[in-house]
Amino acid sequence: MALMPLTFGISFTFTPLNQANALIHIYMDGSLGISTGAIEMGQGVNTKMIQIAAQVFSIDPQRIKVESTNTTRVANSTSTAASATADLNGQALLAACKPLLLRLKKLAAKLLDADIQEIELRNERVYRNGKVSKINWEQLISAAYLERVGLSQSGFYATPTLHFDTEKGQGHPFAYHVYGTAVLIVKLDVLRGIYETEEVDIIHDFGESMNIIIDTGQIEGAVVQGIGYTTMEELVYDKTGRLLSNSLSTYKVPDIYSVPKVLKVKPLNVKGHRLAVLKSKAVGEPPLMYGLGIYFAIQNAIRTFNPSFQSFDAPITPEKVLLGLYGKKE
């Protein structure tokens, strides 16, 4: 067994990369088109962008389309990396949505002869003083067009408080940190040197997760990546320095058989951070670290059989395990 604690900073340490742009259009039929600099690669960032816009305007997510990422709509995009993509682009999208929402509320107040403080958009209806009015979302958007109210808006976000001197290694490089701990249990066959991950139990700091299904899936996938990274993904070179493990036939990556028999993820009950989009913390890179704990679990298993074992050579393949089980102290 091994424990793998986690503290992971969220942001690019190269401060200028911590910025993003977004663009939103509301069309006459009440549909929305949103563009950001985020690249969807299966991590669910587009779903989160839809959630943000749907929450701000209190409309059906089916009305919202995420446009393909293109520099003709959103220029100077930052890389989709460093676990900061949802935060940066989500905050930029919020910066675009809020002025639009204000304009729509002002129009609704005018149509209802009310103060803007009395107006609320809820479930595709306009409410005045908590009571539903005769105006629905589509009627409001149609009225906005007829009244020549702008229905397009760009947004920009730059993470505040960040500064970091790369030469001195000093400053405040991260917006916030993500925390958690994993317990990993491995079973080792001392005759053959092979092993299986019996169980991984994780408690993780999601903040106030805006989509726990996506976030949990990110952790599950990252754990398997971490396990593969420290147990099988070995770089092999010949005597001339030529890379031999240069394809999927020679460079082994984790598959379904690498998945722990039991994998549990429990959210930590905490308040979200103000710099996390909608207080939902980043969940890209951090959970990879949980999977790395399997390396130490295997080491502990070897030492139980061979107390003289002492080696730090990753990835810890079955061949290395077998040598560790029956080898002498280095």
CATH number of the domain within which 47 lies: 3.30.365.10
Same-domain status, 132 and 182:
no
Asked whether 95 and 101 are in contact (CB, 8 A), the reply is no
Identify the residue whose tokens are 């077998």: 322
Q: Which of 120, 124, 285, 330 is catalytic?
A: 285
**CB count in 10 Å sphere of residue 54:** 16
DSSP state of 189: -
128 shares its domain with 221:
no
Give per-residue pLDDT as tens, 5-48.
999 999 999 999 999 999 999 999 999 999 999 999 999 999 99
The most distant pair of C-alpha atoms in the chain lies apart, rounded to whole Å, by 86
Q: At what angle do helices 212-231 and 288-305 cross, to 10 degrees?
A: 40
- Could you tell me if 139 and 247 lie in one domain? no
Q: Which residues form the domain of 29?
A: 19-158
Residue 171, domain member (yes or no): no
285 carries an active-site annotation: yes
Nearest CA among 87, 24, 81, 82 for reference residue 56: 24
* pTM (predicted TM-score): 0.91
Number of domains making up the chain: 2
Do 225 and 305 sit in the same domain of this protein?
A: yes
- What is the spatial distance between Cα 284 and Cα 288, in angstroms, rounded to a whole number? 8
- Count of all residues that appear for the chain in the document: 330
CB within 8 Å of 165: residues ≥ 6 apart: 171
Show pLDDT as tens, one digit a residue, over the chain (330 residues). 999 999 999 999 999 999 999 999 999 999 999 999 999 999 999 999 999 999 999 999 999 999 999 999 999 999 999 899 999 999 999 999 999 999 999 999 999 999 999 999 999 999 999 999 999 999 999 999 999 999 999 999 999 999 999 889 899 999 999 999 999 999 999 999 999 999 999 999 999 999 999 999 999 999 999 999 999 999 999 999 999 999 989 998 999 989 999 999 999 999 899 999 999 999 999 999 999 999 999 999 999 999 999 889 999 999 999 999 998 654
Q: Taking the CA of residue 69 as centre, how many other CA atoms within 13 Å lie in the half-sphere pointing to its CB?
A: 19
